[in-house]
Every structure is written in C-alpha cells, then in structure tokens.
Amino acid sequence: MNEKLTDIFGIDVFNESVMKERLPKETFKALKKVMDKEQPLSLDVANVVANAMKDWAIEKGATHYTHWFQPLTGITAEKHDSFIEPASGGKILMEFSGKELIKGESDASSFPSGGLRATFEARGYTAWDPTSPAFLKEDAAGVTLCIPTAFCSYTGEALDKKTPLLRSMESISTQVVRILKLFGINDVSKVECSVGPEQEYFLVDHNKYMMRDDLIFAGRTLFGAPAPKGQELDDHYYGSLKERVASYMKDLNVELWRLGILAKTQHNEVAPSQHELAPIYATANISTDHNQLVMDTMKKVAKRHGLECLLHEKPYAGVNGSGKHDNWSLVTDKGKNLLDPGKTPNENIQFLLFLTAVIRAVDVHADLLRLSASNPGNDNRLGAGEAPPAVISVFLGDQLDDVVAQLVATGEAKTAKKSEKLDVGVKTLPRFSKDVTDRNRTSPFAFTGNKFEFRMVGSSMSIAEPNTYLNAIVAETLEEFADRLEAAEDFDTAVHELIKTELAAHERVIFNGNGYSQEWIEEAARRGLPNISCFIDAVEALITPKAIKLFEHQGIYSEAELRSRVEINYENYSKVIAIEAKTMIEMASRKYIPAVMKFVKNVADSVISVKNALSVADVSAQEEILSKASRLLSDAKKAMDNLSDGLARVSDISGAKETATYFRHEIVPMMDALRAPIDELETIVDSELWPVPTYAELMFEL
C-alpha cells in the first residue's frame, strides 16, 4: 500500500461527504432528512441523487449498477444492469433514474420465500435503503455500483433479512426514547443500536482445497483423522503471522478500508490457520451490510493469494470452530451509550433499568436467541466445550453481579465494588487499573463493560437476525416497563420497585461461572432454563404464541413472515445435510474406497511374495494390517450403502419439519458411521496412496 490510509479510506463509498460535495444543497438537506427517517423520499430528490451517483460511479469506472440485497439464503444477491440507454445515431447514453435507484423489480422466484410467494407470482421488489450508503465493487466483471436495498414481495412481505432489522431498529428506538423521557431526558429523538461483529475464519491453500470435495461442496471437512498436533500448545493464538497470511491481511484491510469498513483488529485465533478480524462498531444495519461485505471480501482476496477462506462454523473436527461475537449496545443520537454503568452503577438507576430490561428479555426469549445463532454448521460447535453451551445465560461480572444481588435482597444497592490497581511486581512497568469485570469466555451472552457480547452466533451467519431479535425482545420489555412507569404516581418509588421485582423474577438467567462445565448444564436444568440441543429443535421458537405476539405487536414480522421462515429453516437444514451426505458418498466411493483397495492389495501381495521368498518368514505384521484394513474397508462400504439407502428414503417423507427431523436423527448418525472407519483407515494406509490432503497438510502447510 503506497497511498496513505486516510486517502483511501471510503474512496469506494458514496458517503455523506461525497453527497455533500456533489449534490445541490437543497437535495442534500432533503436526503439527510430521509436518512434520519424524518421524511419519505420524493421522486424529485431521488432523480437528482441517482444522477449524481451515476456520474460519480462512472468517473470511477463503473459500467453497471445493482440493487444489492440480503435474501433469506443468508448471503447477498445482486443482479447487474448496465447504465446504457440507446440514443440516436446508434450511440448510447449512460442513464440512471431516480426510479431505478429507489425500486428494482426482480423476478426472484428462485430465492427462498417459504411459501410466502408462489412462483407464478414471482414479482419481488428491491427498495433502496438510504440509511446505508451505496458503494463500488470491483471484480472480473468490472466496476459495479451497489445500492443496498430491502427485498419484499408484491404484497409487501419481507423476503429478506434487512427489512425486519430496520423495523426492529425503529421499534427499540421508540421504546428507549419513551424511557428516557421518564428520566427527564427530552432531547433524544432517536436511539441506535450499535453493533460490532468479530469475524473468525480459517485460511487454507487453494490447491489443497481443490483436492477436497468436502471443502468445495460443504465448506467443511467431512472426513479427516486428527493431525499429530492440534491446538494443545496454544502456540497459534495471538502468535506472529505467517508471511502469506500477513500479506493476505494487509490486502484485505485495504479492500475493506476502501469500502469504508473500519477494519480494526486482526490476530491469529486458537486453532491452527484460524484468524479473526474485528471492525469498529457501527449502527446495526450498516454493520450488517459491512459484515456481509467483510465475508465476501475475505473470500475474494483469499483467491488472489492462492488461498481459500473458510467461513464454516466447523471446518475441522478436533480443533476449535469459528464464531462471530455480536457486540451490541444502545447509543442515543446525542452519543451517549445507555449501557455504560458509569463509576457507580449502584447509583445509576437509568442504567440499572436498561440492564434489567436486557436480563428479563433474554430470560423470556432465550429460545429465540438460541435460534438466531443456529444453523446446520453451528450444530457442530455449540455446546462442544469450545463455544458457548446451548443454554442461554447472562454473564455480568463481579461488580454488577454484586449490585444485582443487593437489589434483589433489599431493593437497594448501597455499594459497588471498585476496580483495583494491578501490580505486576515489576517496578519499571506502569501500574494500571484492572477492569472491574474479568472476561468470561464461556458465557453465551456477556456484559463486557458497556455492551453485551452475544457469543453464540456462527461465523458464516448474517448478523441481521441476532440483532433483529435482540432489538425486538428488549423493545418489548421496555414497552412494558414504560407503560407501567408512565402510569405510576411516584416514578422514583415505582422504578426502584420495578427493578427489584423484575431482577428477582429473572435472576435465574444470570450465571457467572464456567459455562463449559457439566455442573452448569445440570444447574441450568434445575433453574428451568431451556437447553435446546440443535438447530431444528430451535426452529419453532419463531412461532410460539409469545414469539408471534412479540413480533406482530411491534410490526417486525407478521405471522405469515414467521411461518415462512420456519419453512425456510427446515428446508435449509435438509438441503445442507443432503449435500454433505452426497459428498461423503462421492468421496468414499470414488476416492477412499479405491485407495484402500489398492493398499489392501499391496499388503496382500506383500504377504504372498514374502512367504514365497521365505516360507518360514514371520508375516504376522502384514496380516494384522491386512485384516484390520479389510475389516474397516468392509465397515466403510456397508456404512456407505446404508447412507445411500437412507438418502433414497427421503423422498418417502412429506413435510419440511418431518424431512429435517429425518435428516437430523437418521442421516447424521449414518454419516458419522461412515466417517469413523475411513478416519481410522487414514491412520494405517500408506500416505502415498491417501487420495486427499490430510488435516496436517490443510492446517499447517500454508
């Protein structure tokens, strides 16, 4: 990078400063009002903005534009249109109208709609989200102007992840503003939820990746014996970067900075060849867009470096998988973080009220949060002693835990534990204050100073849903609190009373201990906390009466939208497992089994030739290997046939839920049964004959 970082930051974004520079004053003012959600967008304004956007994009080499959206597949979608319009004399003009900016029509019948839209009425609309800036994307197709949009059906149902998120942001803002008024704060008109997602990922050599059908088709290894070394020495975590990885990260950062993404920290993660990138937090919808771009860019830049980026939650068995920590807080339009406890949280009633609201919301709707962090990939990770358990609990840290205990006991918190000076015992090192909360890495939902960190989310998932649900559940509780407090005669007494009773009712969800331990799982059961073990068991959290009431009341999802998402979740699960199962059969029948047969024949030949050469020779070693390999080969063949038969029976099942359940309870165990003998064979078969790169080669040879 020769340019200065300050010069390249955001140069591919049609951001506020570009708008200010390129739009007539009046238009800019009008657009600002739209962005601040104070007034709707008029076509006149849209026309002027579209024209300025087009000129800017064309100057930067763009030929096409696209409405960029986030369908329910969880990744982003785009359909490119060029700016060209025919003009007289066989020439063309480059045009882009306000109408084209605001609304796109996509015959998007192949996007999942979960029955919301029959294919014969395939119309879907994309609508510009002016709160998220347009940007340029450059790839082999050239430069494209990308316009972030929401995606809905002809009848207005949301077919994407962004629309409900935007709705939830309005909902929580409204309720927080009401609460603040009760505290005499009248100058706040909007509250944003701020989100900072930490993104974990693995890198693998492209050529080795191309030799593994499982990585290509499933994004994770479906076979593989453990390498002699895993992560036990903890020498990769925060270790110095390998040249190739460092050069990848450098390139990645530049790409992200150009897109105006505040990529801030990067480091090696726990598992070999695992890394993390965290941006500085932003407003939830922008952060969601950015995280999608981060994931896209990670993959794109990897290819340039002869690498592949794996975003799957569990690429390799036996070492840690990848997650995405979703850091969340509430910040007013005056810049105040409402989750900041200040120095004396025990006296900060306003903070304690918001804290109580989050605790209550998480307790009441733990099942929804669990679902928002569930996908087929994360099933391989949650609760496996490397990621949070499947039980949702809230970590507060010593200081707040103590404040809560005092409040529950007496209705008052007289003291707050202070942070101490940390003395490391070396005179030349500075002494500094310890944080009042230590980190608890095992908690699914941890208070970390001035924000909550939701740690269950899977690395490949969109953060739209976790944040939509979080906003929704906290908004619901705040609405109830506001109703009660507005009706109270004496606000002061009422707010103290409310905090005390609500904390007492929901303190069961607070847990500060080791979330990975078996004792906690037992204790959680005693406390009556839900322990939902897998994705498909979590799906119906969306259509419980309490969930339907929650989302409908706040206008975030209609019941039809919720039901469609249930269908899509089940279908998605079945499709993913089917692909994995078919990939396993393909690899077993065409790679592993032929290789093992060759090996078995070699050993058999060796037994015969050694015996021929010397009739009294001891061939017991060869015979042992031969008999073990033959037995495992036969086990593998049987397991493979069994899996094939299992897949053939899928067509007999009707119903999305029934099919997903069959995949979970019948097919997954059959897959495990096929993996076991092959992984064992990997440890005895001649490495020269082994048909695919091993774990050691994938993780350590970068």
Nearer to ligand ADP, 330 or 534 (CB): 330
Which residues, 186 to 215, sit near Mg ion by CB under 5 A?
198
Q: Tell me, rounded to whole angstroms, the distance of Cα 362 from its chain centroid.
A: 19
Nearer to ligand ADP, 278 or 503 (CB): 278
Nearer to Mg ion, 312 or 325 (CB): 325
- Which of 160, 198, 269, 379 binds ligand ADP (CB under 6 A)? It is 198
Under the binding rule (CB under 6 A), the answer on residue 265 touching ligand ADP is: yes
Return the range that interacts with ligand ADP (CB under 6 A); candidates 10-18, 274-282, 393-401, 412-420.
274-282
Per-residue contact string for residues 304-343; x = within reach of ligand ADP by CB under 6 A: ---------------------x-xxx-------x------
Per-residue contact string for residues 442-471; x = within reach of ligand ADP by CB under 6 A: --------xx--------------------
Sign, CA dihedral 178-179-183-189, equals negative
Under the binding rule (CB under 5 A), the answer on residue 451 touching Mg ion is: no
The distance of closest approach from Cβ of residue 208 to Mg ion in the complex, given in angstroms and rounded to an integer, is 30
Contacts of 161 (CB under 8 A, 6+ apart): 70, 71, 72, 74, 288, 462, 464, 465, 468
Nearer to ligand ADP, 127 or 373 (CB): 373
Burial of 376 (0-12, 13-18, 19+ CB in 10 A): buried
Within 13 Å and on the Cβ side, how many CA atoms surround 97?
6
The distance of closest approach from Cβ of residue 279 to Mg ion in the complex, given in angstroms and rounded to an integer, is 12
Nearer to ligand ADP, 112 or 321 (CB): 321
Question: 365, 469, 358, 455: which is closest to 404 by C-alpha?
Answer: 358
Nearer to ligand ADP, 339 or 539 (CB): 339
The distance of closest approach from Cβ of residue 240 to ligand ADP in the complex, given in angstroms and rounded to an integer, is 18
Under the binding rule (CB under 6 A), the answer on residue 195 touching ligand ADP is: yes
Number of residues that bind ligand ADP (CB under 6 A): 16
The distance of closest approach from Cβ of residue 325 to ligand ADP in the complex, given in angstroms and rounded to an integer, is 6
- Which of 57, 270, 278, 626 binds ligand ADP (CB under 6 A)? It is 278
Residue whose beta carbon is closest to ligand ADP: 196
Nearer to Mg ion, 167 or 455 (CB): 455
Which H or E element spans position 357? helix 349-364
Residue whose beta carbon is closest to Mg ion: 325
The distance of closest approach from Cβ of residue 212 to Mg ion in the complex, given in angstroms and rounded to an integer, is 30
What number of residues does the chain have? 702
Which H or E element spans position 261? none
Per-residue contact string for residues 117-156; x = within reach of ligand ADP by CB under 6 A: ----------------------------------------
Nearer to ligand ADP, 34 or 298 (CB): 298
Check if the beta carbon of residue 363 is closer than 8 Å to that of residue 414: no
Return the range that interacts with ligand ADP (CB under 6 A); candidates 272-280, 534-542, 638-646, 677-685.
272-280
Nearer to ligand ADP, 49 or 271 (CB): 271
Burial of 615 (0-12, 13-18, 19+ CB in 10 A): exposed
The distance of closest approach from Cβ of residue 455 to Mg ion in the complex, given in angstroms and rounded to an integer, is 7
The distance of closest approach from Cβ of residue 435 to ligand ADP in the complex, given in angstroms and rounded to an integer, is 10
Return the range that interacts with ligand ADP (CB under 6 A); candidates 273-281, 376-384, 415-423, 649-657.
273-281
The distance of closest approach from Cβ of residue 329 to ligand ADP in the complex, given in angstroms and rounded to an integer, is 3
Q: Tell me, rounded to whole angstroms, the distance of Cα 188 from its chain centroid.
A: 31
Which residues, 342 to 401, sit near ligand ADP by CB under 6 A?
none
Q: Which does 683 bind (CB under 5 to 8 A by kind): ligand ADP, Mg ion, none?
A: none
The distance of closest approach from Cβ of residue 654 to ligand ADP in the complex, given in angstroms and rounded to an integer, is 44
The distance of closest approach from Cβ of residue 475 to ligand ADP in the complex, given in angstroms and rounded to an integer, is 17
- Which of 47, 70, 76, 194 binds ligand ADP (CB under 6 A)? It is 194
Nearer to ligand ADP, 451 or 675 (CB): 451
CA 541 vs CA 364, 366, 531, 551: distances in Å? 12, 9, 13, 12
Check if the beta carbon of residue 403 is closer than 8 Å to that of residue 352: yes
Rg (CA), the chain: 28
Nearer to ligand ADP, 261 or 562 (CB): 261
- Residue 661, classed as helix, strand or coil, is helix
Q: Which does 213 bind (CB under 5 to 8 A by kind): ligand ADP, Mg ion, none?
A: none
Q: What are the structure tokens assigned to 539, written together?
A: 């799906």
């060869």: which residue's tokens? Answer: 622
Nearer to Mg ion, 137 or 455 (CB): 455
Per-residue contact string for residues 566-595; x = within reach of Mg ion by CB under 5 A: ------------------------------
């990997």: which residue's tokens? Answer: 682
According to DSSP, the β-strands at 62-68 and 142-153 are parallel
Return the range that interacts with Mg ion (CB under 5 A); candidates 66-74, 184-192, 319-327, 605-613.
319-327
- Which of 10, 196, 272, 444 binds ligand ADP (CB under 6 A)? It is 196
Q: Which does 281 bind (CB under 5 to 8 A by kind): ligand ADP, Mg ion, none?
A: ligand ADP
| Amino acid at site 230 | G
Rounded Cα gap, residues 212 and 663, in angstroms: 23
Q: Which does 506 bind (CB under 5 to 8 A by kind): ligand ADP, Mg ion, none?
A: none
Number of residues that bind Mg ion (CB under 5 A): 2
Q: Count, in order, helices (H) and strands (E) of the chain.
A: 24, 20
Nearer to ligand ADP, 448 or 512 (CB): 448
Sign, CA dihedral 19-25-31-36, equals positive
Beta bridge partners of 138: 143
Nearer to ligand ADP, 337 or 644 (CB): 337
**Count of C-beta atoms within a 10 Å radius of residue 281:** 20
CA 618 vs CA 409, 603, 607, 624: distances in Å? 78, 14, 9, 11
Per-residue contact string for residues 220-259; x = within reach of ligand ADP by CB under 6 A: ----------------------------------------
Check if the beta carbon of residue 379 is closer than 8 Å to that of residue 556: no
Rounded Cα gap, residues 394 and 512, in angstroms: 8
Rounded Cα gap, residues 254 and 635, in angstroms: 51
Outline where 439-558 has alpha helix (H): 464-487, 491-506, 518-527, 535-538, 545-553
In terms of phi and psi (left: phi > 0; alpha: psi -120 to 50; beta: otherwise), the region of 10 is left
Beta bridge partners of 135: 13, 146
SS in 3 state form for 138-186? EECCEEEEEEEEEEEECCCCECECHHHHHHHHHHHHHHHHHHHHHCCCC
The distance of closest approach from Cβ of residue 386 to Mg ion in the complex, given in angstroms and rounded to an integer, is 14
Check if the beta carbon of residue 202 is closer than 8 Å to that of residue 325: no
Footprint of Mg ion on this chain (CB under 5 A)? 198, 325
Footprint of ligand ADP on this chain (CB under 6 A)? 194-196, 198, 265, 278-281, 325, 327-329, 337, 450-451
